[in-house]
Amino acid sequence: MNNYKFIVNPIAGGGKADSLVPVIERIFKEHGIEFDIYWTKGRKDGIEAAEKAAREGFKCIVAVGGDGTVNEVLNGIVGTGAILATVHGGKGNDFATAVSMPSDIETACQVLLKGKTRSIDLGKVMDRYFINSVGIGFDAEIANRVNKGIKFMKGPSAYTYAFLEKLFSYRSVEAVIDLGNGPQKTKPLLIAVGIGQAYGGGMKIVPDAIQDDGLFDICVFDDSLPRLALAYHFPKVFSGKLKNVKQAQMYRASEITISLSEPRYLHMEGEIFFGDKMHFTIQPLGMTVLTGAGEPV
């Protein structure tokens, strides 16, 4: 790899992403490697900036932010041949973890410089690409609540607050899900679709997901648990044990059609959408990403 474009979201991680820039500059200068830095100016700016960088011939586009920044860079470079990379710069860094990027920025820069790549599957829903995970329903409602901001709270405590707030107020709707073997009617609390295993900062919602098998891993969590029992069982998601709860059914499919009886939120790597019809398609090995796999952490 001989040239890198860093797309920095200066507000990601409450300023964490921005604080990594001096380290990146120092290390890349020391190595005499060509690089350039762009600071995003608002939502969706990262998409355009990444697309422009790829067009200008930058080989590796590095999202310096959280999963939302990764998703913007991804959507800018799909089809350009540029390589997607990231560092841990946000609140949620699930994609960075999924591609084994070390959380320490000095070590992460060494991994970037080595330039080891692999191809992983690329998902698409609602006209937008994703590389790690999507959730519909209860989890998206929580993500939306956190995105809107909870006064005086950040990080995990904001999620806990939103979880408790939505636990008793979220109303699930009927869903018809087709995984390629005919429609199934259900009433899910949430539906998660993953290429990677985790979302929301380490919640292993589809713990057996494989990034390059050409299939989505899907968790359909039906809404039959009393909400208090849900409060007890749901934290198991962090250890990947939610799959042992009988309400969580796991599936694999390459195409998914979901039709909800009323629109609900969908969260995709930090972005929130709203709708009632969702059609997921997968492009096997559709994106080349920079990986830290096999490197000392």
Return residues touching Mg ion (CB under 5 A): 210, 213, 215
Q: Give the pair of three-digit tokens for residue 59.
A: 């080989």
Min. distance of Cβ 191 from Mg ion in angstroms?
Answer: 16
CB nearer Mg ion, residue 215 or residue 272: 215
Nearest residue (CB) to Mg ion, 165 versus 213 = 213
* In contact, 97 and 289? CB cutoff 8 Å: no
Q: Which is nearer to Mg ion, 1 or 210 (CB)?
A: 210
Tell me how far, at minimum, the Cβ of 216 lies from Mg ion, in Å. 6
Query: Whole-number minimum distance, CB 125 to Mg ion, in Å?
Result: 15
Torsion region of 189: left, alpha or beta (phi above 0 gives left; psi -120 to 50 gives alpha):
alpha
**16-30 helix and 105-114 helix, angle to the nearest 10 degrees:** 50
Kindly report the number of other CB atoms within 10 A of residue 183's CB atom.
13
Nearest alpha-carbon partner for 84 in 23, 7, 17, 198? 7
> 170, 187, 140, 274: which is closest to 231 by C-alpha?
170
Compute the least distance from the CB of residue 139 to Mg ion, in Å.
19
Show Cβ contacts of residue 125 under 8 Å, excluding neighbours closer than 6 positions: 134, 193, 266, 268, 278, 279, 280, 281
Amino acid at 274: F
> Nearer Cβ to Mg ion, position 62 or 258?
258
Q: Which is nearer to Mg ion, 24 or 122 (CB)?
A: 122
Residues 6 or more apart whose CB falls under 8 angstroms from that of 234 comprise 163, 242
In this structure, what token pair is assigned to residue 26? Answer: 């120092």
Task: Please tell me the number of Cα atoms within 13 Å of 7 on its side-chain side.
Answer: 35
The DSSP bridge pattern shows strands 3-8 and 60-65 to be: parallel
Q: Compare residues 33 and 210 and give the one whose CB is closer to Mg ion.
A: 210
Contact 70, 268 (CB under 8 A): no
- For Mg ion, which is the closer residue by CB, 213 or 222? 213
Q: Cα–Cα distance between 289 and 117 in angstroms, integer? A: 5
> At closest approach, how far in Å is the CB of 194 from Mg ion?
7
**126 versus 210: smaller Cβ distance to Mg ion:** 210
The minimum distance between CB 185 and Mg ion, in angstroms, equals 25
Q: How far is the CB of 103 from Mg ion (least distance, A)?
A: 24
CB of 119 to Mg ion, least distance (A): 13
